[in-house]
Amino acid sequence: QVQLVESGGGLVQPGGSLRLSCAASGSNFRIYHMGWYRQAPGKQRELVAQITSGGITNYVDSVKGRFTISRDNVKNMIYLQMNSLKPGDTAVYYCNKWPPTPAYWGQGTQVTVSS
């Protein structure tokens, strides 16, 4: 069983930056492929960025060049550095395994980009 707790969201102006963190429990964290997902109001949850157990990353086109996913297997942490934020990035952000395990969805962290 894995528990995931997201943090770091907030209100930021367009063009600003935020760093999201995801703390994972469990001893097998390092072997999991992980992802950051987001769900905007009225929309389906979507994968934003993924990182394999070996550190290979991939991003949805809309965030390429602006977001960076990383992991620390010693601390059992996943991070999402978000730069040049746009109003369209407003959503609740979640971390989960990739592909996601339904039972592991946490509360997420709200990111609001607005002037």
Q: What is residue 64's predicted lDDT score, i.e. its pLDDT?
A: 98
Q: What is the structure's pLDDT at 27?
A: 78
**Where would I find the beta strands (DSSP E) of the chain?**
4-7, 10-12, 18-24, 34-39, 46-51, 57-59, 67-72, 77-82, 91-97, 109-113
**Amino acid 2: pLDDT:** 83
Q: What is the reported pLDDT for 26?
A: 79
Cα-based angle 36, 39, 44 (whole degrees, multiple of 5): 115
Low-confidence ranges of the chain (pLDDT < 70): none
Residue 9's pLDDT is 98
Q: How far apart are CA 99 and CA 26, in angstroms?
A: 17
